[in-house]
Chains A and B, each alone.
Chain A
């Protein structure tokens, strides 16, 4: 098993408008991208389980081939910048993704 942080070039989160946070996991080459994509470790279901949110809070989950990227977007618990929001830009919400374990290729 290899942590996602060792395989991806970029793992980031950022606001997508006022009510959503979007996550991008970008790889440098097609082989690594395909490996993670087919591993089953990064799907709508695994992400919902990781963040312990209902699946319907994930508005988009896209494997974006042209950029070797996996991308998903979640609805925020409250709009950005509301009092108590600890991350107005949504820029630090990706941290739990770093340690997702990806199986070795078959």
Chain B
């Protein structure tokens, strides 16, 4: 085993916004052994997974893949991408593989071996699990998966751990495009494979996965470098104006997770209770003391999304203080008109009242302020585009006709800046946030390799 392994990461969510190239170039000059980034997030809502699309533009995805591929091939080091195309579905993996193929041609790169794996899960396999009594366990207070919820699901991905990445490196892959993965796994995999302690390897992944979010001052899309040894992890900001400090590195352990001490992956849990942080240079913090607790049974996390229906959006303004005070009655009037018209057909109407609690809904704590104007966003959802449009139009326009007993303005209860409703993306919801037991950690992640440019 070499004394250290260096990994650089240029972007916390490849494609969502382009990486900054100057700090990446500094990182490449520091002779990394691995260039890696995660490209996924469930922050983007259930729509991309359900509809099998990316929320990131292809141009930005290509920009970063090109940046990383050229550097990795020039240096002769592996390039690793996880959770291709925001969701890590099979089509997104194929998309990234194709981008790599095009980039090889464009730059006439010497042939190399590309490894990739898929993450989509067959619904019928899960149905068998449910029927055989092998529970698909709900996370975050969700009930275990039942067949009704499975039927309401359009697409499911499983969250890979280190296993398919190690497998593909063993198969000689020089570039890896991964399906849906735990962010930290794609960084941990090459370190574990090289013989470094699992706990430090997972910590390396944990701290690198969000690139410069572990540095200060705040600034995303900048490259950071992590260096693992048998004793510690050292993380350094590559941007000349950023530093990795004890506060910024420890602070990042909290980011986007419910508990700063534990990180769960397929195969175990990274325990950061005993982490010790030490500033060893202006831009570098050293971490020791993480622990890895292997799981007794390998359970893989699943994400699933299901379509509710087509969707239209309407916008409504209100200025009359009496109408503002009675906005719930105005909304109820419009709901009643929709109910009268559409009866038992399935549809949904949703109202966000901006100026009152449009952002926070029931969590809003400020209930004493009386706004002088309101904007109401109306969403109408139904199986067909035609019905969704009519539902939304009813839910929006009928606010104009609301009958309030003491209203002075009898020519119209609300204001429209557009007398129309607008077609929006279809409505989806997260149907799965569950785990399933597997016998083999590679079971849900078929691995493939192909020569590019040969």
> What B residues does A66 contact at CB under 8 A?
246, 250, 253, 275, 277
| In-complex Cβ contact of B255 among A24, A51, A82, A96 (8 A) | A24
Q: Mark B241-272, 1 if CB is under 8 A from A, else 0.
A: 00000110011011111111100000000000
Number of B residues whose C-beta is below 8 Å from A? 48
> What A residues does B47 contact at CB under 8 A?
81
CA distance A60 to B45 in the complex (A): 23
User: Is B142 part of the contact surface with A, judged by Cβ < 8 Å?
Assistant: yes
Name which residue of chain A comes closest to B301, CB basis. Answer: A17
User: Is A45 part of the contact surface with B, judged by Cβ < 8 Å?
Assistant: no
Instruction: Let me know if A62 and B251 touch, CB within 8 A.
Output: no
> What B residues does A26 contact at CB under 8 A?
247, 251
7 closest cross-chain pairs (CB), A and B: A81-B45, A84-B350, A73-B258, A67-B250, A79-B430, A19-B140, A66-B250
Residues of B bordering A, CB below 8 Å: 42-47, 139-142, 246-247, 250-251, 253-261, 275, 277, 303, 308, 311, 348, 350-352, 357-363, 365-366, 379, 381, 427-430, 433
A79 with B379, Cβ < 8 A, contacts A24-B255, A62-B260, A86-B352 known = no
Residues of A bordering B, CB below 8 Å: 10, 14-20, 22, 24, 26, 28, 50-53, 59-60, 62, 64, 66-69, 71, 73, 75, 77-84, 86-89, 92-93, 95-96
Instruction: Let me know if A81 and B428 touch, CB within 8 A.
Output: yes
> What A residues does B139 contact at CB under 8 A?
17, 19
> What B residues does A52 contact at CB under 8 A?
362-363, 365
Instruction: Let me know if A67 and B140 touch, CB within 8 A.
Output: no
> What A residues does B351 contact at CB under 8 A?
84
CA distance A40 to B363 in the complex (A): 21
> What A residues does B251 contact at CB under 8 A?
10, 24, 26, 67, 69
> What A residues does B308 contact at CB under 8 A?
83
| In-complex Cβ contact of B358 among A22, A78, A86 (8 A) | A86
> What B residues does A20 contact at CB under 8 A?
140, 258
CA distance A87 to B379 in the complex (A): 15
